[in-house]
Amino acid sequence: MIPMVNLKAQYAEIKAEVERGLAETIASCTFILGPNVQAFEKEAAAYLGVKHAIGVASGTDALHFALRAEGIGFGDEVITTAFTFIATAEAIKYVGATPVFVDIDPKTFNISPEAIAQAITPKTKAIMPVHLFGQPADMARIKQLCDQYGLKLIEDCCQSFGASINGIQTGGIGHAGGFSFFPSKNLGAFGDGGLVVTNSDDSAVKIKRLRNHGSDVRYHHEVIGYNSRLDEIQAVILRAKLKRIDQYNQARRHVAHLYSQLLADLPLTTPFEDGLGEHVYHQYTLLSDRRDEILKALQAKQIACAVYYPVPLHQQNVFKAECANVSLPVTESVAANCFSLPICPFLDDDTIREIVSVIRGVFAV
């Protein structure tokens, strides 16, 4: 079978370094907020060009803590996209705020700045763009809106580690950003993990307190916090992969560009790079009104494929009542026609051609 992500090949490349680091960590018996977490936080902050990088237990927690640290809470509205994983909206709900879903750009699938502008009300306190599938959102225009209306800008970077705009990494543009280290991500752990980034000293103190039971000093608790700490085992793995992230992302771009070249003459829509930032292709996502036929053909050849995301958030049962009058035509059209192909740094050209040949076979009938 051809998997969506070949984690076994990646592990083979970093095996010696990872196993050495794991052995040292286990022998030290230091597992919580130890030297590898501290080192990873410094290395990640340096790579991302931010003042603070704080390891947490998941990308969902990262977004949640970023919102809390920036003072978003009950009665506030946060404008975001409905074409994303539910964690984006969950984090908004966790702080007691209301997600306001707006439509997306039909080419990039990222949140539309025009739609954001139309949705701003006196209750709006923040905008949370998602750098979907690894392509940076239009941050210049979104930041302009935040500056104009005095809004907080919280970046959902859970799919965009290593993506940049004019040399600035995603996560370092807004007031805070959240990253996920789910195993299939561009920078993935061997379990769950996340990172909050910020240039604010005050926000960093709050986030560190939140992740550790509301405590700055052991057994002294300032607020009700959470148990959400990146552990040493995951930090060992992330440090090994961080050294190679640019190499991995460049390999993903090669895979994506070859796919697009080989599929260019077919009646489907390949990913669009808007030129505003460097796409790192967490997913390679296409559009076709023959999606179901293509998926069936790929599955018959044991080629992994997926639909991200078949049901937009405003149509999910959990949001249906409050979104009864919400219509997002571009989002709904994209969700009905999108599908994703295998992509990872270890996908060779021959395998890409094999996948493309199966797709071409659908259109030959």
43 and 138 co-located in one domain: yes
Residues 88 and 131 in one domain: yes
pLDDT for 183: 98
Range of the domain at 256: 245-364
Q: How many domains does the chain have?
A: 2
Q: CB atoms < 10 A from the CB of 75, how many?
A: 10
- Last residue within a domain, chosen from 242, 257, 278: 242
Dist. CA 224–CA 124, nearest whole Å: 26
Quick one: 250 and 338 in the same domain?
yes
Has residue 274 been placed in a domain?
yes
pTM over 0.85: yes
Q: What is the pLDDT of residue 365?
A: 78
Provide CB contacts within 8 A for 133, sequence distance 6+: 109, 159, 271, 279, 281, 282, 283, 284, 285, 308
Q: Are residues 175 and 249 in the same domain?
A: no
Q: Which two tokens stand for residue 249?
A: 């992302």
Residues 208 and 282 in one domain: no
Q: What is the number of residues in the chain?
A: 365
Buried b / exposed e along 148-157 (16+ C-beta atoms within 10 A): eeebbbbbbb
Q: Which of 242, 262, 285 is the last residue of a domain?
A: 242
Would residue 333 count as lying in a domain? yes
Instruction: Give a yes or no: residue 2 inside a domain.
Output: no
Judge whether 89 lies within some domain: yes
Cα separation, 83 vs 85, in Å, equals: 7
Together in a domain, 200 and 331: no
Judge if 176 and 40 occupy the same domain: yes
* Residues 21 and 45 both lie in one domain: yes
Whether 57 and 134 share a structural domain: yes
Neighbours of 223 (CB within 10 A): 12
Q: Contact, 186 vs 161, CB < 8 A?
A: yes
Are 285 and 159 contained in the same domain?
no
Residues 229, 293 share a domain = no
In a domain, 256, yes or no: yes
CATH of the domain at 333: 3.90.1150.10
Residues 203 and 251 in one domain: no
Last residue of a domain, one of 184, 209, 242: 242
The one-digit pLDDT tens for each residue of the chain (365 residues) are 999 999 999 999 999 999 999 999 999 999 999 999 999 999 999 999 999 999 999 999 999 999 999 999 999 999 999 999 999 999 999 999 999 999 999 999 999 999 999 999 999 999 999 999 999 999 999 999 999 999 999 999 999 999 999 999 999 999 999 999 999 999 999 999 999 999 999 999 999 999 999 999 999 999 999 999 999 999 999 999 999 999 999 999 999 999 999 999 999 999 999 988 999 999 999 999 999 999 999 999 999 999 999 999 999 999 999 999 999 999 999 999 999 999 999 999 999 999 999 999 999 97
Strand pairing report for 52-56 and 194-198: antiparallel
Residue 78 lies in a domain: yes
